[in-house]
């Protein structure tokens, strides 16, 4: 996709430019054209976006099924063992969480580490896994169609989504913020009334933008890398999504900055087909086992320097 190639080239150019200057020299923000270019084919200026997730009585998105680590004959886990590999839907365009290492071509990131932990527990090998790169909009359909066993892709748990699929316990809590150019006067999402703000299709981020009182104009794309390109081209005023995703963008493009406080809490869970309750319990047992050392090791590797110290969230069960 040409948009994705532009994102990679822009990010590499920014990093090379930073490396050629003197140590500690400030990075000048790239100029933004005053002439708005045509929007890419996969980008949509949204005129109507359905509101955020429902909060009907009896729904607690943080609560999941109690853990159970055994593997009975004929269970979902037993079938995966017979197959010999775990099928996982992931991102390949979100730096720090799910992305391809440009040197090795291998998928890496915090979400990838979580997925490998489940494969290791179930199959005895963290590499007994087949990744499928999917967009935000594909996360629920690939589970419903049986194309993957689980989805580990910065997947916020909501009551609406729980009507269609199951989720594990919460393994990370993020929060939505805003990414803008270094020279922007924007200080929060409230300053973006009437301005174009990018998020991915079918994401909670897009719905949250539409709910802001100042009425920003949501622009939807397939992948977060597309949002970064639109910001670099001056097609949008800002990108708004989870601080975890924005941290990766800011790392890739030092001419950008993250502003404002969190205005949502995003509870990341592992998506699992609705009918596979045994798999939900098994995954929750794995998460219990990795919340100590492995979770912290992965967090320290990918996120601590960008987002500060953090602890794994305590599980809640229903």
Structural element, H or E, at residue 199: strand 196-200
- 227: containing domain: 176-264
Does 87 share its domain with 154? Answer: yes
For residue 186, being part of any structural domain is answered with yes
* pLDDT tens per residue across span 171-206: 999 999 999 999 999 999 999 999 999 999 999 999
Q: Is residue 9 part of a domain?
A: no
Q: In terms of C-beta density within 10 A (0-12 exposed, 13-18 middle, 19 or more buried), how is residue 285 classed?
A: middle
Round to whole Å and give the CA distance between 167 and 169. 7
For residues 166 and 101, membership in a common domain is answered with yes
CATH number, domain containing residue 221 = 3.40.190.10
Sheet holding 256-259, edge to edge: 44-45, 217-221, 196-200, 238-242, 176-181, 256-259
**Both 167 and 286 in a single domain?**
yes
Please tell me whether residues 93 and 162 are part of one structural domain.
yes
**Domain shared by 148 and 255, yes or no:** no
Helix then strand count (H, E) for the chain reads 11, 18
Judge if 230 and 108 occupy the same domain: no
The reply to whether 31 falls in a domain is: no
Query: What pLDDT was estimated at residue 4?
Result: 44
Q: What is the dihedral of CA 67, 71, 76, 81, to 10 degrees?
A: 130
Evaluate whether residue 289 is within a structural domain.
yes
CA 233 to mean position of chain CA atoms: 23
Q: Are residues 133 and 234 in the same domain?
A: no
Grouping H, G, I as helix, E, B as strand and the rest as coil, residue 263 is: coil
Please indicate whether residue 16 or residue 152 has the higher confidence score (pLDDT). 152
Query: Which residues, 6+ apart, have CB-to-CB distance to 287 below 8 Å?
Result: 67, 168, 169, 171, 270, 315
List the Cα angle 201/160/241 in 5-degree steps.
40
User: In terms of pLDDT, which residue wins out, 15 or 107?
Assistant: 107
Mean pLDDT of 289-299: 95
Residue 227 lies in a domain: yes
Residue 189 lies in a domain: yes
Domain end among 264, 287, 305: 264
145 domain residue, yes or no: yes
Distance of CA 238 to the CA centre of its chain: 17
Residue 262 has pLDDT above 80, yes or no: yes
**Domain end marker among 264, 280, 307:** 264
Local structure of 103: helix, strand or coil: coil
How many domains in the chain?
2
Strand segments, DSSP code E, in 27-144 are 44-45, 63-64, 86-90, 93-94, 98-100, 107-108, 129-133
* pLDDT at res. 39: 72
User: pTM score, two decimals?
Assistant: 0.84
Q: Residues with Cβ < 8 Å from 302, sequence gap 6 or more?
A: 96, 97, 109, 110, 113
Distance from C-alpha of 259 to C-alpha of 17, rounded to nearest angstrom? 23
């Amino acid at each position: 996709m040409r948009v994705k190639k532009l994102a990679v080239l822009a990010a590499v150019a920014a990093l090379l430019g930073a490396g050629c200057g003197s140590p500690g020299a400030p990075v000048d923000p790239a100029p933004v054209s005053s002439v708005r270019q045509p929007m890419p084919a996969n980008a949509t200026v949204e005129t109507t976006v359905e509101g955020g997730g429902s909060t009907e009585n009896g729904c607690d998105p943080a609560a999941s099924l109690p853990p159970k680590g055994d593997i009975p004959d004929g269970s979902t886990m037993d079938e995966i063992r017979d197959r010999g590999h775990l099928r996982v839907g992931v991102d390949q365009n979100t730096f720090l969480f799910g992305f391809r290492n440009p040197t090795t071509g291998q998928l890496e990131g915090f979400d990838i580490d979580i997925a490998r932990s489940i494969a290791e527990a179930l199959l005895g090998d963290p590499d007994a896994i087949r990744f499928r790169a999917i967009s935000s909009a594909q996360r629920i359909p690939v589970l419903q169609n049986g194309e993957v066993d689980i989805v580990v892709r910065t997947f916020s748990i909501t009551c609406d989504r729980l009507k269609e699929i199951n989720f594990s316990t919460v393994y990370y809590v993020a929060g939505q913020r805003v990414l803008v150019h270094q020279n922007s006067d924007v200080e929060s999402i409230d300053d973006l009334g009437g301005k174009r703000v990018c998020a991915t299709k079918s994401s909670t981020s897009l719905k949250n933008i539409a709910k802001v009182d100042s009425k920003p104009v949501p622009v939807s794309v397939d992948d977060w890398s597309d949002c970064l390109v639109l910001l670099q081209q001056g097609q949008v005023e800002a990108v708004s999504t989870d601080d975890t995703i924005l941290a990766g963008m800011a790392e890739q493009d030092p001419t950008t900055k993250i502003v404002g406080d969190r205005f949502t809490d995003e509870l990341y869970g592992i998506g699992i087909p609705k009918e596979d309750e045994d798999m939900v319990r098994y995954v929750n047992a794995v998460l219990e086992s990795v919340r100590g050392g492995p979770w912290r090791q992965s967090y320290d590797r990918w996120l601590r320097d960008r987002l500060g110290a953090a602890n794994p969230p305590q599980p809640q069960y229903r």
